[in-house]
Structure 1
């Protein structure tokens, strides 16, 4: 049995993914906390362990397995580090910002290209209409910046100011007045926030690329393992077919043997009836001849001739017809039928007997890359192997009044080989006198040619 890999050990058997906030049941199995909560919420009492089916009448109080959580986190980091990414692949760069001077028009004349945007006036101006902001002291406090496209979307809907800051805690763009509401946050400029998020997205894209590669390998592995399972099942079915064919052949041979014995007995008795028939036919013919001669003698008119003929016929004796008792050897027939009936009932009882299925033993390969089954074999593995060996050493035994059959995993076929062809009923042993009487009765029932064989 293949050992389970570390990836399989750190995988939840419910969601088939690495543990997320793992918890441990009293029976020692680990699951994602959310997965187990959903399972037990649907299942209700009694609560069963999804892996070993252990029952709990009251819902156990489960706590986060911090050690296992740390192991899973380190394993995932190590897996990410060892994922082979092609050298020629790099995360795509973010598209460059469009040229503002070629797209932003002056909000005053709506014709010339704007060169600056006033953050107070919330408008963009060309060279000509920007002159008041440059010459008049009244606009000295109006900050100017390169032209900003789509000012309506950049405005803060609450304060009508340009949103030029980003709050990482709330993941939103804010204006300077919004800083009052974000005192505990750490807002940064839009350029810095864009650079940070770009780096994070590239790192996430790398992780997703490795996950896609792992999923592709897992898909191939699942299909390959599915084909191996099908091949193994086909081999087992072919083996079963051969076993049943052999058992059918043994049963057919047993039927032929029993039928042959009955036919031989039938032939023996039938030959006796043929002999009796011929004797009776001859006797009838002789009586018929005497009858005709008597009738002929009674027609004689001459007394001398009649007396001479009648005296001879008077001395001819005839006896009544006697048919001897001839029948089948009922002990033999009964034994054959009883053996067949016993075998039939024992086979029926064995076939109808509910057999406990063996616990599925899943190898470590079967749970690789997210393909773990819902029920994993409980550890240690050596204990399961010992239990299987112990179960194989204890075949089931069935005893009937006239015969004892032993059936195990493959003992049905062996039992048919040893006892199925014979159909000899081992009845309870009679005493010595009755046994001798039965043997003598069977011996005397044989025909004369058969008896001469023992002379």
Structure 2
């Protein structure tokens, strides 16, 4: 019998209802075989009695008797399958927590390899074999193992959820399409799956792009921090070097001052010591003569006194000390001269510092040209947009919102809303001018008050030598020389506007703590012509980088 069973295929021992090896197999009149329990339950539910395979209808319910031959063959096949499963179970994995177990395994549950959407069961390698070999089971849809296969069935019609209702955005079965979802837009589940999968893949790609951009931003920020640290370390090293040199210079000047004063004092003490020594010598000689005179004056021998007088030494030579004195040295001006010399040294050091600073800010030089749409009608602009001066005639120009109509000012075409920028303007020969930056929303009509509260960060020259920072109130600036070229540097994020005297390599002033929230435009105010005294133009000059 075992030899004969080897000639039979495995699907011949499977019940087409339970899809498992026959248990108490019975044959019905049409010749098909089923488990006795399976066909009994099937006919209990479905009336009239009908063969599940060929659909033949029986008017009278057939009497069921167990086919002992097929039963023995099925028992042998089941035993063979169990032995095979037993021998291969060591090669398969027992289902661990979180893994889908085989629904057919008894005792130890093996890990399922696939789940069947038709059978609504999951199978290990051994119990999956019929689905891979039996012709009618090959048509079943297998997927990667999943739990809760019952959730794939329609709770209302107990049918497989194989369609998708786009109207209600829910999965439905075939019977749902003729009832609750009859007029809805329904598509096969696979079609919606492909569409949603494509959307997910697109979203995933976009998400990955966002991740990539943010990683690049992280690298950019980290690089900025590295550059900031390098700048900070370099600035600290430079600052320490400068202050060390200044400290050494101050200490050296202090030591020289002390040495000068002490040298004068030592000279005075030496002179006084010489005078004292001479005076003490004269006192000693005078004391000796006084003693001789006193001794002789005490003698009562007339003859001896008269005879001894000629033998007395003459008076010792002495100096006339009436006009002799020790004058304390004069220290007036000693400290002042030392500080003045130190100031010269500090000025040289400051010039070096400003040269280094100017060299750094010049790295942010930008091209700037004048915007004729903002210029007051009396201003004359050069064709290249680099020069502006006040003219005698008021041109007939459109009074657009950007144009200054009362103050003779003009803005640049370029605007800046982040980072740092620098430009230079020649002011040579002008007794009056105004320079700086202005925010986009400034008032350009009527009289204008230049201060940060109104959106202007400026310095100006009035009456040839009166320089002011246009703050509220304005601050008078003290300059050693009149600038011929002014450099303007802005650090947007730092809130800083600095003005430099390029020719003197010096800082004119810095406006700090500025609050920038809009675009900034370079601002140029050549002021009125004043009868020709102020006819020279403001010239946006090329930046010659400091060597």
Give the alignment's TM-score, normalised by structure 2: 0.35
The structure showing larger relative contact order (alpha-carbon pairs under 8 Å, at least 6 residues apart) is 1
Structure of larger gyration radius: 2
Give the alignment's TM-score, normalised by structure 1: 0.41
Going by fraction, where is strand more abundant, 1 or 2?
Answer: 2
Going by fraction, where is helix more abundant, 1 or 2?
Answer: 1
